[in-house]
């Protein structure tokens, strides 16, 4: 997507605007499959739940990781064209409900689909047995999250030493434990997290086998880092480590899945905003734009992510602050952006904003989320 294309779309649709390029979605999916050919990608729908994105990944061959009933239905509604006899096979092969904690009502609604769901404690297991007895279950391990942008291990995952006891408990409840899963934390740039986690999963799988319970599925979760900047090492380097450990630790027949979200969508979108105000405060130039941290830039708050703004206009750059359009003092896009001297109605844009951005946008202060345009569907 060129800057000229972006400006043309802005003239057509106005601002704020998010543009998602589906050619880039397909390219990112192809890169994942190229470097991890043994791993089936279950796209983490929470990263960007647009139905258009779900359809593109489905057509490319992806499966899906969902974490709520609405996400499940978003995927399900996009596969209704399948023959009736193929529906159940699709659910089993194409969707995993990977939120370890689920409301009773959600489990009751899911049970008819005989879903694959995760758990990490006995109470959750008993809840699944009562409200979704037809589900297959996957035990989630607590693994190292050191160096990941969003840490998850304090909230989810059982201690590896407890995992086999939970597998045995599941079988006593009449449930079938299909797999073992883990998550190294979102935007994981410490590749040793994956190495350590794969070794932990292999140890649990081996112990489970000695106690009479064979595990069929290994879910290596998400955390695959998007190339936001030059400090992120190439995905191919991470894939080499993962492939080496998989080949060393696990039997040939095991089904391996993963839950990439950010990696697949982050680089496929750009946003455009308009300067609506300009001031100088405490000696620093300040710009106000018609977007905010409650809208497209919500990832600054919810995802611990920083999106750098660029201008279409050329000129000598100066360190400046950029604020969002709402009346909240928290609405700070950046306090240290390098931008030229801009005027009201000039445009700025942000790259790599496809993940956890407009997906968590609100209507705070009465401002609607940015318009989303899909290219090359």
pLDDT in tens, 148-196: 776 667 788 999 999 999 999 999 999 999 999 999 988 989 999 999 9
Helix ranges (H only) for the chain are 3-13, 22-35, 51-60, 69-77, 87-94, 104-110, 122-131, 160-172, 192-210, 235-249, 262-265, 299-302
Q: Please indicate, yes or no, whether residues 39 and 165 belong to a single structural domain of this protein.
A: yes
What pLDDT shows up at residue 147?
67
Average pLDDT of the chain to the nearest whole number? 93
Q: What are phi and psi of 134, to 5 degrees?
A: -90, 0
What pLDDT shows up at residue 92?
56
Q: Please indicate, yes or no, whether residues 197 and 184 belong to a single structural domain of this protein.
A: yes
What pLDDT shows up at residue 86?
47
Q: Please indicate, yes or no, whether residues 118 and 245 belong to a single structural domain of this protein.
A: yes
Q: Please indicate, yes or no, whether residues 192 and 274 belong to a single structural domain of this protein.
A: no
In the predicted model, is pLDDT for residue 78 greater than 90? no
Residues 197-237: tens digit of each pLDDT: 999 999 999 999 999 999 999 999 999 999 998 889 999 99
Q: Please indicate, yes or no, whether residues 162 and 305 belong to a single structural domain of this protein.
A: no
CATH number of the domain that residue 143 is part of: 3.20.20.10
Domain boundary, last residue among 241, 266, 291: 266
Q: Confidence class of residue 77 from pLDDT cuts 50, 70 and 90?
A: confident
Q: Please indicate, yes or no, whether residues 328 and 258 belong to a single structural domain of this protein.
A: no
Q: Please indicate, yes or no, whether residues 151 and 54 belong to a single structural domain of this protein.
A: yes
Q: Please indicate, yes or no, whether residues 126 and 176 belong to a single structural domain of this protein.
A: yes
Q: Confidence class of residue 81 from pLDDT cuts 50, 70 and 90?
A: low
What pLDDT shows up at residue 151?
62
What pLDDT shows up at residue 304?
85
What pLDDT shows up at residue 178?
95
**Is 327 one of the catalytic residues?**
yes
> In residues, how long is the chain?
377
- CA count, 13 A, side-chain hemisphere, 55: 11
Domain boundary, last residue among 210, 238, 266: 266
CA–CA distance, 63 with 186 (Å, rounded to integer): 19
Domain boundary, last residue among 233, 266, 299: 266
Catalytic entry in 286, 305, 320, 327:
327
What pLDDT shows up at residue 341?
97
Bridge partners (DSSP) listed for residue 310: 349
Q: Please indicate, yes or no, whether residues 153 and 284 belong to a single structural domain of this protein.
A: no
Residues 248-307: tens digit of each pLDDT: 999 988 999 999 999 999 999 999 999 999 999 999 999 999 999 999 999 999 888 999
- For 116-125, the CB contacts below 8 A with 24+ separation are 116/92, 116/178, 116/179, 116/217, 118/181, 118/219, 119/166, 119/170, 120/156, 120/157, 120/158, 120/166, 121/158, 121/166, 122/166, 122/169, 124/100, 125/166, 125/169, 125/170, 125/173, 125/175
Q: Please indicate, yes or no, whether residues 86 and 228 belong to a single structural domain of this protein.
A: yes
What pLDDT shows up at residue 85?
41
Q: Which domain holds residue 365?
A: 3-18+269-375
What pLDDT shows up at residue 90?
53
Q: Please indicate, yes or no, whether residues 219 and 340 belong to a single structural domain of this protein.
A: no
Contact yes or no for 245/194 (Cβ under 8 A): yes
The structural domain count of the chain equals: 2
In the predicted model, is pLDDT for residue 91 greater than 70? no
Give pTM, 2 decimals. Answer: 0.94
Q: Please indicate, yes or no, whether residues 230 and 153 belong to a single structural domain of this protein.
A: yes
Residues 7-58: tens digit of each pLDDT: 999 999 999 999 999 999 999 999 999 999 999 999 999 999 999 999 999 9
CATH number of the domain that residue 358 is part of: 2.40.37.10
């Amino acid at each position: 997507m060129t800057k000229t294309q972006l400006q043309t779309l802005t003239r057509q649709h106005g601002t704020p605007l998010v543009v998602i390029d589906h050619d880039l979605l397909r390219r990112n999916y192809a890169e994942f499959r190229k470097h991890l050919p043994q791993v089936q990608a279950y796209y983490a729908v929470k990263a960007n739940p647009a139905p258009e994105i779900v359809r593109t990944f489905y057509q490319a061959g992806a499966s899906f990781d969902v974490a709520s009933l609405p996400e499940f239905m978003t995927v399900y509604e996009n596969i209704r064209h399948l023959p009736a006899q193929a529906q159940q096979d699709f659910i089993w092969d194409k969707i995993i409900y990977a939120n370890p904690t689920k409301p009773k009502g959600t489990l009751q609604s899911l049970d008819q689909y005989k879903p694959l769901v995760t758990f990490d404690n006995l109470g959750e297991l008993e809840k699944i047995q009562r409200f979704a007895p037809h589900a297959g279950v996957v035990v989630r391990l607590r693994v190292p999250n050191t160096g990941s942008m969003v840490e998850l291990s304090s909230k989810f995952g059982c201690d590896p030493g407890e995992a086999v006891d939970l597998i045995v408990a599941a079988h006593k409840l009449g449930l079938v434990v299909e797999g073992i899963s883990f998550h190294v934390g979102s935007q994981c740039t410490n590749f040793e997290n994956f190495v350590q986690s794969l070794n932990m999963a292999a140890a649990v799988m081996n112990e489970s086998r000695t106690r009479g319970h064979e595990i069929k599925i290994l879910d290596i979760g998400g955390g695959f880092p998007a190339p936001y900047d030059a400090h992120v090492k190439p995905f191919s380097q991470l894939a080499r480590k993962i492939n080496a450990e998989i080949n060393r630790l696990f039997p040939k027949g095991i089904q391996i899945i993963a839950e990439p979200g950010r990696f697949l969508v982050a680089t496929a979108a750009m946003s455009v905003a308009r300067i609506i105000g300009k001031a100088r405060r405490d000696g620093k130039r300040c710009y106000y734009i018609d977007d905010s941290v409650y809208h497209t830039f919500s990832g600054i708050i919810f995802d611990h992510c920083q999106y750098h703004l660029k201008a279409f206009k050329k000129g000598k750059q100066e360190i400046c602050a950029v604020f969002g359009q709402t009346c909240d003092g928290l609405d700070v896009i950046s306090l240290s952006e390098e931008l030229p001297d801009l005027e009201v109605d000039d445009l700025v844009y942000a790259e790599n904003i496809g993940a956890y951005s407009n997906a968590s946008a609100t209507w705070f202060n009465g401002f609607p989320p940015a318009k989303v345009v899909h290219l090359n569907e």
